[in-house]
A = this chain, B = another copy of it.
Amino acid sequence: MSYDPSQFPAFAVTVDVVIMTMSEGTLKVLLVRRGEAPFEGMWAIPGGFKRPTETLDEAAKRELAEETGVDVPSLLTQFGAYGDPERDPRMNVVTIAYIAVLRDVGALVAGTDAADAGLVPVSDVLKGRIELAFDHLRIVRDALERVRVELELTGIATAFVGATFTLAELRTVYEAVWGVQLDAANFRRSVVAEDGWVIPTGRRARPGPAGGRPAELYRAGRAWSHGGPIHRFQREERK
């Protein structure tokens, strides 16, 4: 606790944002291609320096806006800090990592220069099929684990889908994030039973190319802070 304000080790502080989305039924993460050394040309999580005048949350929000143009993120959660001495070969950098969960940002990404930004399946990153700069692999791993927990504890699931959605869409979120298969009927019962979480709009969705009965459209109700309708514990152990 010896505390000398004039003499302290200086660090660079950055904010990295793991932007996750559902696309084509699988969980994807937004990556950018680095234009400079070190790790030039390699994929990385978007991020940048924190400014002295802003809070960490504000910095994350700014980085997200700069990268995707999304201004009001439905979910932006801090989940970890990384400060290993050798994580950046140039200097001492401590980074604060955030998760942003967005509705499909495929259009946004396509709008930017397609060469330096892309949506990549999370599984490809975890399996090492895509190598990331710095310790970003570890950050993505931790982010996924956090999303898995958050999915059970909070209303984060609706952040993956649009303003209105079918229960089948919502179900694919759980299935993709947890890597499980859920019974459509049972899922429906659990979600609808949780009072006030999803609100029927009365309208119906257009069936997909394969036909099928049109699904009811719902919109997100209040998000709870504890205890979602779907739990994953037994599922994992038995699988």
Interface residues of A (CB under 8 A from B): 1-3, 5, 8-13, 32, 35-36, 46-56, 78, 80-85, 90-92, 94, 96, 149, 153, 226-227, 232-234, 236-237
Point out the residues of chain B lying under 8 angstroms from A3, CB to CB: 36, 48
Q: Which residue of B lies closest to A10 (CB)?
A: B10
Task: Give how many copies assemble into the complex.
Answer: 2
- Please determine whether B13 and A52 come into contact, CB atoms closer than 8 angstroms: no
A116 to chain B, nearest CB (A): 9
In the A-B complex, the 3 residue pairs with the closest CB atoms: A227-B233, A10-B10, A56-B83
In-complex Cβ contact of A83 among B50, B83, B91, B92 (8 A): B50
Question: Taking A13-B94, A94-B13 as contacts, is the C-beta distance between A55 and B84 under 8 angstroms?
Answer: yes
Q: Which residue of B lies closest to A15 (CB)?
A: B83
Point out the residues of chain B lying under 8 angstroms from A91, CB to CB: 5, 8
Contacts A9-B52, A11-B94, A78-B80 known; 8 new A-B pairs at CB < 8 A: A3-B48, A8-B12, A9-B12, A9-B49, A11-B13, A11-B50, A11-B52, A149-B153
- Please determine whether A96 and B84 come into contact, CB atoms closer than 8 angstroms: no
In-complex Cβ contact of A13 among B5, B9, B48, B90 (8 A): B9
In-complex Cβ contact of A46 among B1, B53, B78 (8 A): B1
- A55–B200 CA distance with the chains assembled, in angstroms: 49
Q: Which of A5, A53, A82 has the most CB of B within 10 A?
A: A5
- Please determine whether A56 and B227 come into contact, CB atoms closer than 8 angstroms: no
- Please determine whether A94 and B56 come into contact, CB atoms closer than 8 angstroms: yes
A231 to chain B, nearest CB (A): 8
Q: Which residue of B lies closest to A12 (CB)?
A: B8
In-complex Cβ contact of A50 among B9, B12, B96, B227 (8 A): B9
Q: Which residue of B lies closest to A1 (CB)?
A: B48
Q: Which of A2, A13, A83 has the most CB of B within 10 A?
A: A83
- Please determine whether A52 and B85 come into contact, CB atoms closer than 8 angstroms: yes
- Please determine whether B84 and A81 come into contact, CB atoms closer than 8 angstroms: no
Can you sample 7 A-B contacts with CB below 8 Å?
A1-B32, A5-B91, A10-B11, A11-B52, A13-B83, A78-B80, A83-B96
Point out the residues of chain B lying under 8 angstroms from A227, CB to CB: 233-234, 236-237
A64 to chain B, nearest CB (A): 13
